[in-house]
Amino acid sequence: MKYKYCAKCQRSYIRSRLEGDRCIYCGTDCETIDVKRNGLYYFGYTLMLIGAASVLIPRFMTVTGPSLFVYTGIAVVVAGAVFVVMGSTKMAKTAEEMALSEEKE
């Protein structure tokens, strides 16, 4: 996952392919840092997949109270999304720390 860290704005964010190496906020050149996806991120994605699968279960089986699967599934997908956001926030923080420690050397 590529992150950018701008020393001028003191903020890190996910680098999108459309942008160059310039900061999207102030336009100065900034560092690109490669951060490994962390456990929270993967955990969130797994939850989202499980939730999505749960929503689909009633379509393949005639179970009693299929809405239970749907509501639980949606709740699990939402919870998964929260973990993904938490994971991304943590990775942005890691990118920032990495950029700052590089500057000190």
Footprint of Zn ion (CB under 5 A): 6, 8-9, 23, 25-26
Per residue, the 3-state secondary structure of the chain, as one string, reads CEEEEECCCCEEEECCCCCCCECCCCCCECEEEECCCCHHHHHHHHHHHHHHHHHHHHHHCCCCCHHHHHHHHHHHHHHHHHHHHHHHHHHHHHHHHHHHHHHHC
- CB nearer to Zn ion: pick between 31 and 97: 31
- CB nearer to Zn ion: pick between 4 and 76: 4
- CB nearer to Zn ion: pick between 12 and 54: 12
Minimum CB separation of residue 21 from Zn ion in Å reads 11
Minimum CB separation of residue 3 from Zn ion in Å reads 13
Minimum CB separation of residue 23 from Zn ion in Å reads 3
